[in-house]
Amino acid sequence: MSGPVVGRFAPSPSGYMHLGNLLAMLLAWLDCRALGGEMVFRMEDLDPARSKTAYREAMAADLRWLGLDWDRGWPEDAGYAQSKRTALYEAAFQRLAARELVYPCFCRRSERLAAASAPHPGEREHDGGCRCARLTKGERAALEASGRRPAWKLRSPDETITVHDGHYGSFTQNPARDVGDFIIRRADGVYAYQLAVSVDDMLMGVTRVVRGRDLLSSAPRQKWLIETLGGTAPAYCHCPLLTGGEGKLSKRIGSLSTETLRKEYRGEEIVGRLAWLCGLLDREEPVSARELVPAFSWDRICRGDVNMIL
Ligand code: GLU
């Protein structure tokens, strides 16, 4: 791909970050800097109920502590926070609606609530479909008249989409069959993760998406959305997850947060440990992120998830 290389950090401030998030941030930064690219920091605070200022601030502090810098984005420019970008999502939504690619869904409140955050392992992605995809005009009018606010679903493309992941190789999906129609706007008006992340990667000129492999199954939908909206999809490079015996270390099941780690370790110690755990270093030793740039290569990074006992 010609043109500037643009990478991104895209954390969600629904909790403090943990080591698994930091590994994805480190690799996103190394990938971008090794290519001489520009780094964007986007704050994925789509869901007002789950986003907290303390978490937002901690994320910027965490990145600085690890020595990971960025060229544009949050917090210097508030326009890089998803909470401030609703008009852009609305415009994309209207373009999809004009092509009759969306329909209102009047059921399943819980799934509408979950849609603002990225899907995580173990979460069911295919909801089995619902009758709302086939409502007659009369049925739809009656539901609208009842005052129920619908969520909006995208008609999932019934086509084979292949993403050539830079680390895991070809990943093929038929979204209609494998994930079904999915929510792009919740009933409360909050735009969903899949739409927002696609619009943002497109409009921010992102050319390389590096993130945990739990989001590999979202990549074909995002590629399709970006291309349908007239953009060029970025290259995707997913990375291994860190596990601690219970599966993915996630904010939701609780783990050592960076709030704790930052008090106990220097950034170089954590960078050294992460680099060693994923295969970039042969032994564990403190190192600055900058020192890892010249020898960075995806070939050295393991593909299996990393079981980590701190
Ligand atoms: N904000 C998402 C998360 O923290 C990541 C989105 C992405 O990298 O596409 O899970």
Task: Please indicate whether residue 56, judged by its CB atom, sits closer than 6 Å to ligand 1.
Answer: no
Ligand 1 geometric centre to CA of 151 (Å): 22
Task: Please indicate whether residue 194, judged by its CB atom, sits closer than 6 Å to ligand 1.
Answer: no
Task: Please indicate whether residue 116, judged by its CB atom, sits closer than 6 Å to ligand 1.
Answer: no
Could you give the residue range(s) of every CATH 3.90.800.10 domain in the chain? Answer: 86-195
- Kindly report the backbone phi and psi dihedral angles of residue 49, in degrees, each rounded to the nearest multiple of 5, phi listed first: -70, -25
Task: Please indicate whether residue 81, judged by its CB atom, sits closer than 6 Å to ligand 1.
Answer: no
Q: What is the best residue among 19, 44, 198, 214 to mutate for testing ligand 1's pocket, by most ligand atoms within 8 Å of CB? A: 44
pLDDT confidence of residue 246: 55
pLDDT confidence of residue 254: 37
Task: Please indicate whether residue 119, judged by its CB atom, sits closer than 6 Å to ligand 1.
Answer: no
Could you give the residue range(s) of every CATH 3.40.50.620 domain in the chain? Answer: 11-81+234-307
User: What whole-number distance in Å separates Cα of residue 103 and Cα of residue 132?
Assistant: 8
**Tell me, which fold does domain 11-81+234-307 have in CATH?**
Rossmann fold (3.40.50)
User: What whole-number distance in Å separates Cα of residue 33 and Cα of residue 220?
Assistant: 25
Alpha-carbon torsion angle 259, 265, 269, 274, nearest 10: -30
Ligand 1 geometric centre to CA of 120 (Å): 10
pLDDT tens for the chain, 310 residues: list them. 578 999 999 999 999 998 899 999 999 999 999 999 999 999 999 999 999 999 999 999 999 999 999 999 999 999 999 999 999 999 999 999 999 999 999 986 655 556 778 887 666 677 777 889 999 999 999 999 998 899 999 999 999 999 999 999 999 999 999 999 999 999 999 999 999 999 999 999 999 999 999 999 999 999 999 999 999 999 999 999 988 755 555 443 335 788 888 988 999 999 999 999 999 999 999 999 999 999 999 999 999 998 776 5
Structure tokens at 177: 């069959």
* Strand stretches in the chain, DSSP E: 6-9, 38-41, 72-73, 102-105, 151-154, 161-165, 169-173, 182-185, 208-212, 235-239, 242-243, 306-307
- The CATH code belonging to domain 86-195 is 3.90.800.10
* Nearest Cα residue to atom 6 of ligand 1: 10
pLDDT confidence of residue 115: 74
